[in-house]
Amino acid sequence: MRLKSIAIVSVAAMLVAQAGLAADWRSIASDGEEHVEIDKARIARVGGGKTMAWSRLVLGRELKVDDGQTYSAVEALNRYNCEKRSFATVKRVYLQDGKPVKQESIATPKEMQAAPDSIDDKLLVEACKFRTVGEMQKIAKAADMAVATDPAPTPEQPPKAMYADMRRAGETKQPSLYPVEATPPAKMGLSPKAELAAKAAAEMPPPPPSAQPVQPARSAAGRANVDTYTYMRSARNTRKKAAPVVEPPMAAPVHWGYAGEGAPANWAKLRPDYATCGNGKRQSPIDIRDGIRVDLEPIKFDYKPTLFRIIDNGHTVQTNVGAGSTISVMGRQFELMQLHFHRPAEERVNGKTYDMVVHLVHKDLDNQLAVIAVLLENGSENPVIQTLWNNLPLEVGQDVAPSVAINLNGLLPENRHYWTYMGSLTTPPCTEDVLWMVLKQPVQVSAEQIAIFSRLYRNNARPIQPTSGRLIKESR
């Protein structure tokens, strides 16, 4: 979707103002309790080959801001230049228990180059991908021109890191961060389960309060742009010398899922920002019944053929699509961001269950979410789903970007009548105020297509949640 100048301003303002809504944090790198994430739900192209995106550094411990308040995470709004592979931080938000305690805008954002294979580079890649065919060709051409005309970087200047830029320029003390380093090449092929096992086997304890890491020399003006990775490596070496006694490894935090300790009944207990999963009043999915039959406005679908990236994220098979596919309903336009699958279908209709469901997740310029749910039942083969299954990744966490395009109109039934109600995301953090529209006519998929998904996820459906007196409307 090409945004005009006024839309560019609206997107940037929305990303700054809506820092806590409808987040979809995805891990980029982690080390112990610290990890770096990017919010896939708040990535917006602002024209000129640039993209705005939120990233987050979770510290795993508490630090203090100037006024004495403590924080345990820092979110940063970054502007990425996808063609020049650079970025600038325009806003920081310091959080404690998921709530902002301090915010600061950067008056003069400093453009920095993302070093190859660095965490900043990984964040840039995530922020800049998922292009349509036309966008990808334009970016590729611009990148070739940039390589031919841009001077080579000066060797004496160390690569800059997002973590350094999350600090205020006036800070005089370097936070003693537990290291978060780029994944070594030897580990690139590990699955998340293997990486988790490797982390659990690590013998390095957290640094004692008295241990002071060796910091690289730097001027006062350059404190906000130190080579954080050099600092982290020296900090790691210092800790090894200061703490020769090897302590048992810390237990890995429980990750959310659909069985065991991370099962849906325990989601609210796993992290403070998952509390809504337990105390929310408009949670999804629900058993759809007792709706009022009215003349609902038809949903206007405007889905375009698009390239896609498909990933097995450990919870489902998710497909991220290019810009330009939209729905219009209730006077608002929502853009399609991604689609994913559940087995069995999470929604029920008067107690009836369906074999599967596909959720098509949309977002408008005010960052409000709208989900179209298409119920899937055993029948004939669906060509769109077969194309997705043909390109399934071989490993959890791996994504595939095939050259083939898909037309998502092939996932929609002929009859577009629907039920609608307000609900939530069906996965943590279970954010509410999500507009749900469940199409009444199921779409057929073959038994073989159902069986393929079942090989990966036999049951990845959240249990039915209380309706709590919500109004449900349906097309008559």
Q: What is the mean pLDDT of the chain?
A: 78
Q: Is the CB of residue 352 less than 8 Å from the CB of residue 371?
A: no
Q: Is the model's pLDDT at 284 over the cut of 70?
A: yes
Predicted confidence at residue 434, as pLDDT, reads 98
pLDDT-derived band of residue 193, with 50, 70 and 90 as boundaries? very low
Domain ranges for the chain: 5-242, 272-475
C-alpha–C-alpha distance, residues 247 and 366, integer Å: 48
Tokens of 330: 């209730």
pLDDT of the residue at 201: 43
How far apart (Å, rounded) are the C-alpha atoms in residues 408 and 385?
A: 9
User: Is 315 known to be catalytic?
Assistant: yes
Q: Of these residues, 315, 340, 359, 417, which one is catalytic?
A: 315
pLDDT at 48 over 90: no
Residues contacting 27, CB < 8 A, separation 6+: 35, 36, 37
* CA dihedral over 57, 58, 63, 66, signed as positive or negative: positive
* pLDDT digits 0-9 by tens, 65-113: 767 788 888 899 999 988 788 899 988 988 888 888 888 888 788 888 8
Please state, in angstroms and as integers, the Cα–Cα distance from residue 468 to each residue in 345, 422, 461, 472, following that order: 21, 11, 20, 11
Report domain 272-475's class: alpha beta
Q: How far apart are CA 36 and CA 53, in angstroms?
A: 13
Q: Which tokens go with 327?
A: 């729905």
Lowest average pLDDT, out of 119-133, 139-153, 216-230, 295-309, goes to: 216-230
Q: How confident is the model at residue 159 (pLDDT cuts 50, 70, 90)?
A: very low
Instruction: Give the least confident one: 128-132, 177-181, 244-248, 329-333.
Output: 177-181
The predicted pLDDT at position 130 comes to: 53
Residue spans of alpha helices (H) in 29-185: 119-128, 133-149, 162-165
pTM exceeding 0.85 = no
Is omega for the bond preceding 175 within 30 degrees of 0, making it cis? no
pLDDT for the residue numbered 41 = 80
pLDDT value, residue 65:
72
Instruction: Give pLDDT tens digits for 252-280.
Output: 688 999 999 999 999 999 999 999 999 99
pLDDT single digits (tens) 434-443: 999 999 999 9
Percent of the chain with pLDDT over 90: 49
The H or E element containing residue 342 is strand 332-342
